[in-house]
Amino acid sequence: MKCKFCDKPAVIKLRAYNLKLCGEHFTSFIEQRVEKTIKKYRLFTKNDRILVGISGGKDSLNTIYILNKLGYKTEGLYIDLGIGDYSKHSKEKAIAFTEKFDIPIHIYEIKKDFGLGITEISMLLRRKPCSVCGVIKRYILNKFAYENGFTVLATGHNLDDEVATLFSNVLSWQEGYLARQDILLPRKHDKLVKKVKPLALISEKESAAYAILKQIDYIREECPNAKGATSIFYKNILNQIEEKQPSTKLRFYLDFIRRGKKFFEKALKEREDALHSCKVCGYPTTREVCQYCTIKNEVQKRSG
């Protein structure tokens, strides 16, 4: 099997694009695709200061690596969630990566805010760890970006993440979530930083291959709280569909962005109209007190 663009042997077959590529042409294909996504969806420009949320996983490390390589101004933020060995290992990977490629990194420990890690907080509040974690991560990423003068917040969501979320939201017709699913989420409040997903059109498999070829060492273990997660189940189903009908995932996602999303404009407008400042911290929320402040208050009350 030969590369489509040169005489070298192909190392990967991309069925969704009907392409076989050597290592070099594959990595430049991915970089060009990310650059195209940035331009087409007007994610940011070379004038922006971009904060990338990095978890130590392949997608977030690839995101900051590629943006850096393409000449964008980027810094990483690693949030230490205090989840035992998983956090310890992922933090080591994130730090080793930024040292190897000379990329600035900031570290935020949630234990400083709560005195506890995600698993203990969720047990204390009797809530699912992933939902508590999602609220806390989103809040800290946005707050850190806002307070430190970043104009864009980038995350490493890949195509498989996006499609699994879309699939799940369609199955239960979550209008509010569908309205907000996109590659770019604009700034709709003074203290809300624009959010972007530069890897949204890159599949999980492509992202893993890119990291390996670029010798980006990432954490392979899953968060222990993700075991049995519905999103993993959906990803497996979607992979089975993709196996039979290559490029279904990409088409499903892009068609939603191009043609499906507009049907949820009313839900989007309703949410935007409901956004105001949290009465405790001043950051955006649709409630009186934002979810982050509510969690913080409950933790303080219960841990006495």
Rule CB under 5 A: which residues touch Zn ion?
A: 3, 5-6, 8, 22, 25, 278, 280-281, 290, 293
Secondary structure of the chain in HEC code, one letter for each residue: CECCCCCCECCEEECCCCEEECHHHHHHHHHHHHHHHHHHCCCCCCCCEEEEEECCCHHHHHHHHHHHHCCCEEEEEEEECCCHHHHHHHHHHHHHHHHHHCCCEEEEEHHHHHCCCHHHHHHHHCCCHHHHHHHHHHHHHHHHHHHCCCCEEECCCCHHHHHHHHHHHHHCCCHHHHHHCCCEECCCCCCCCEEECCCCCCCHHHHHHHHHHCCCCCCCCCCHHHCCCHHHHHHHHHHHHHHHCCCHHHHHHHHHHHHHHHHHHHHHHHHHHHCEECCCCCCEECCCCCHHHHHHHHHHHHCC
In angstroms, give the least distance from the CB of 5 to ligand FES. Answer: 38
**Structure token digits, residue 19:** 């392409």
- Judged by beta carbon distances under 5 to 8 A according to partner kind, the member of ligand FES, Zn ion, none in contact with residue 25 is Zn ion
Residue whose CB is less far from Zn ion, 2 or 251: 2
Residue whose CB is less far from ligand FES, 90 or 203: 90
Residue whose CB is less far from ligand FES, 25 or 197: 197
- Judged by beta carbon distances under 5 to 8 A according to partner kind, the member of ligand FES, Zn ion, none in contact with residue 22 is Zn ion
In angstroms, give the least distance from the CB of 76 to ligand FES. Answer: 16
In angstroms, give the least distance from the CB of 241 to ligand FES. Answer: 26
Residue whose CB is less far from Zn ion, 6 or 96: 6
Contact residues for ligand FES (CB under 6 A)? 81, 118, 129-130, 133, 223, 225-226
Residue whose CB is less far from ligand FES, 6 or 123: 123
CA distance 79 to 40: 30
Residue whose CB is less far from ligand FES, 53 or 129: 129
In angstroms, give the least distance from the CB of 140 to Zn ion. Answer: 12
- Judged by beta carbon distances under 5 to 8 A according to partner kind, the member of ligand FES, Zn ion, none in contact with residue 6 is Zn ion
- Judged by beta carbon distances under 5 to 8 A according to partner kind, the member of ligand FES, Zn ion, none in contact with residue 268 is none
Least Cα distance to 41 among 254, 291, 279 occurs for 254
Residue whose CB is less far from ligand FES, 84 or 186: 84
Q: Report yes or no: 63 and 93 within 8 Å, Cβ to Cβ.
A: no
Residue whose CB is less far from ligand FES, 83 or 257: 83
- Judged by beta carbon distances under 5 to 8 A according to partner kind, the member of Zn ion, ligand FES, none in contact with residue 223 is ligand FES
Task: Write the CB contacts of 84 (distance below 8 Å, at least 6 apart in sequence).
Answer: 117, 119, 224
- Judged by beta carbon distances under 5 to 8 A according to partner kind, the member of Zn ion, ligand FES, none in contact with residue 50 is none
In angstroms, give the least distance from the CB of 225 to ligand FES. Answer: 4
- Judged by beta carbon distances under 5 to 8 A according to partner kind, the member of ligand FES, Zn ion, none in contact with residue 124 is none
Q: Report yes or no: 53 and 139 within 8 Å, Cβ to Cβ.
A: no
**Structure token digits, residue 279:** 């009465």
- Judged by beta carbon distances under 5 to 8 A according to partner kind, the member of ligand FES, Zn ion, none in contact with residue 280 is Zn ion
